[in-house]
Amino acid sequence: MSRVGNKPIPLPKGVKVEIGETLRVEGPKGKLSVAVPRGISVRESKGTLELARDGDDKAALHGLTRALAANAVQGVSTGFSRELDIVGIGYRADIKGRVATFTLGYSHPIEVLLPVGVDLRIDKQTHLVLSSADRQALGQVAANIRGLRPPDPYKNKGIRYTGEALRKKVGKTGAAAK
């Protein structure tokens, strides 16, 4: 029995839902759509969305569709955010329009074009705050930015998620190197 799929999704005020082959959700932060697979039915009742499935062979899709719909509802009402920190001497970021420029110790600056719907705010050149209504796009952009210079376990330099725990490794000692 799917525990996730059976949970109702509360609809906040200001969120409008259009049910069809795709679930269209519209709110103050934007519009999103979620594909509803065959065998999964969506209905709206008493300010909540409820999903049901035809048979037990659709259990995995039931939970997935419910989670995607809940993310869409939360995204258009409150939105999502992801924070990253740049650690390293001389490492910094700058933004002009939709293009973010990173100086990460390479011989050249790296430019990243932000997709429509994902916003970037930079505090003190080393703290990045990404925000979007689309959780999937936000996570992908954050992962792409982190991938420009992943955290180094020896020097603790690089781009990391805020609050990400790093295990610092010990480098070579002087006696072993001789």
Cα 28 to Cα 42: distance, rounded to the nearest angstrom: 22
Residue 98 near residue 90, CB atoms below 8 Å:
no
Inside any domain, residue 10: yes
Residues 128 and 67 in one domain: no
Tell me which residue of 133, 118, 108 sits closest to 84, measured CA to CA: 118
Q: Are residues 38 and 99 both part of a single domain? A: no
Q: Tell me which of 77, 107, 134 is where a domain ends.
A: 77
128 is a domain residue: yes
Residues 38 and 85 in one domain: no
> Are 114 and 156 part of one and the same domain?
yes
Does 100 reside within a domain?
A: yes
Q: What is the CATH number for 37? A: 3.90.930.12
Q: Which of 26, 60, 77 is the last residue of a domain?
A: 77
Which among 55, 77, 99 is the end of a domain?
A: 77
Are 101 and 51 members of one domain? no
Residue 176 lies in a domain: no
| pTM more than 0.95 | no
Q: What are the DSSP E strand ranges found in the chain?
A: 9-10, 16-18, 22-27, 30-35, 40-45, 48-53, 80-87, 92-96, 99-103, 110-113, 118-123, 127-132, 158-161
110-114 long-range CB contacts below 8 Å, 24 or more apart? Answer: 110/148, 112/144, 112/145, 112/148, 114/141
**Predicted pLDDT at 94:** 92
84 lies in the same domain as 152: yes
For residue 30, list its beta bridge partners: 27
* Residue ranges of the chain whose pLDDT lies below 50: none
Domain of residue 140, residue span: 80-161
Task: State residue 6's pLDDT score.
Answer: 83
Does residue 28 fall inside a structural domain? Answer: yes
For 10-20, the pLDDT digits (tens) are 888 888 888 88
Report whether 17 contacts 8 (CB < 8 A): no
Backbone angles phi and psi of 143, in degrees to 5: -65, -40
Sign of CA dihedral 15, 18, 21, 24: negative
Sign of CA dihedral 26, 71, 3, 60: positive
Do residues 40 and 70 share a domain? Answer: yes
Are 53 and 93 found together in one domain? no
Tokens of residue 128, six digits? 């990045």
Domain count, the chain: 2
